[in-house]
Protein backbone atom coordinates (compact mmCIF):
# COMPACT_ATOMS: atom_id res chain seq x y z
CA UNK A 1 0.00 0.00 0.00
CA UNK A 2 1.62 3.29 -1.07
CA UNK A 3 2.09 6.12 1.41
CA UNK A 4 0.20 9.34 0.57
CA UNK A 5 2.39 12.45 0.30
CA UNK A 6 0.51 14.16 3.13
CA UNK A 7 1.25 11.24 5.47
CA UNK A 8 4.92 11.37 4.51
CA UNK A 9 4.99 15.10 5.17
CA UNK A 10 3.19 14.68 8.51
CA UNK A 11 5.73 12.10 9.68
CA UNK A 12 8.62 14.33 8.66
CA UNK A 13 7.03 17.36 10.38
CA UNK A 14 6.65 15.36 13.58
CA UNK A 15 10.38 14.56 13.53
CA UNK A 16 11.51 17.99 12.29
CA UNK A 17 8.92 20.51 13.55
CA UNK A 18 10.98 23.57 12.56
CA UNK A 19 11.64 22.29 9.04
CA UNK A 20 10.75 23.67 5.66
CA UNK A 21 9.55 20.55 3.82
CA UNK A 22 8.66 20.10 0.15
CA UNK A 23 7.43 16.71 -1.10
CA UNK A 24 7.35 15.90 -4.81
CA UNK A 25 5.63 12.75 -6.12
CA UNK A 26 8.11 11.83 -8.85
CA UNK A 27 6.12 9.13 -10.63
CA UNK A 28 2.53 10.01 -9.69
CA UNK A 29 2.12 6.60 -8.07
CA UNK A 30 2.47 7.45 -4.35
CA UNK A 31 5.57 5.29 -4.27
CA UNK A 32 8.45 7.46 -5.51
CA UNK A 33 9.00 10.76 -3.74
CA UNK A 34 11.59 13.46 -3.43
CA UNK A 35 11.70 15.23 -0.08
CA UNK A 36 13.50 18.54 0.38
CA UNK A 37 13.99 19.22 4.08
CA UNK A 38 15.65 22.30 5.55
CA UNK A 39 16.00 21.97 9.32
CA UNK A 40 18.19 23.30 12.10
CA UNK A 41 18.44 19.64 13.21
CA UNK A 42 20.90 19.17 10.32
CA UNK A 43 23.30 21.96 11.37
CA UNK A 44 26.88 20.73 11.51
CA UNK A 45 26.01 17.21 10.31
CA UNK A 46 27.30 15.44 7.23
CA UNK A 47 24.84 14.75 4.42
CA UNK A 48 24.98 11.03 5.29
CA UNK A 49 24.10 11.73 8.95
CA UNK A 50 21.27 14.06 7.87
CA UNK A 51 19.80 11.30 5.71
CA UNK A 52 20.18 8.78 8.54
CA UNK A 53 18.07 11.06 10.76
CA UNK A 54 15.34 11.19 8.11
CA UNK A 55 15.33 7.42 7.62
CA UNK A 56 15.19 6.92 11.40
CA UNK A 57 12.23 9.33 11.59
CA UNK A 58 10.39 7.26 8.98
CA UNK A 59 10.85 4.14 11.13
CA UNK A 60 11.75 1.66 8.41
CA UNK A 61 9.06 2.68 5.92
CA UNK A 62 11.59 3.41 3.17
CA UNK A 63 11.80 0.26 1.08
CA UNK A 64 8.40 -0.84 2.40
CA UNK A 65 5.43 1.54 2.11
CA UNK A 66 7.81 4.00 0.50
CA UNK A 67 9.44 2.30 -2.47
CA UNK A 68 11.85 5.12 -3.21
CA UNK A 69 12.68 8.38 -1.47
CA UNK A 70 15.19 10.83 -2.90
CA UNK A 71 16.41 13.17 -0.17
CA UNK A 72 17.71 16.70 -0.31
CA UNK A 73 18.60 17.86 3.19
CA UNK A 74 20.32 20.93 4.55
CA UNK A 75 20.51 23.27 7.49
CA UNK A 76 19.07 26.77 7.01
CA UNK A 77 21.61 29.27 5.69
CA UNK A 78 22.68 31.74 8.32
CA UNK A 79 21.70 35.30 7.81
Give the pLDDT of residue 7. 92
Q: How many domains does the chain have?
A: 1
Residue 68: give the domain boundaries. 5-74
Q: What is the pTM of this model?
A: 0.89
Residue 79 resides in a domain? no
* Residue 79 confidence (pLDDT) above 70: no
Give the pLDDT of residue 29. 82
pLDDT tens track for 14-41: 999 999 999 999 988 888 899 999 999 9
Residue 54 resides in a domain? yes
CATH number at residue 54: 3.30.300.90
- Burial bucket for residue 59 (CB in 10 Å: 0-12, 13-18, 19+): exposed
Amino acid sequence: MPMPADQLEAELREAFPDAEIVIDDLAGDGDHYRARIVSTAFAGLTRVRQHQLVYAALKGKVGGELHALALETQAPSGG
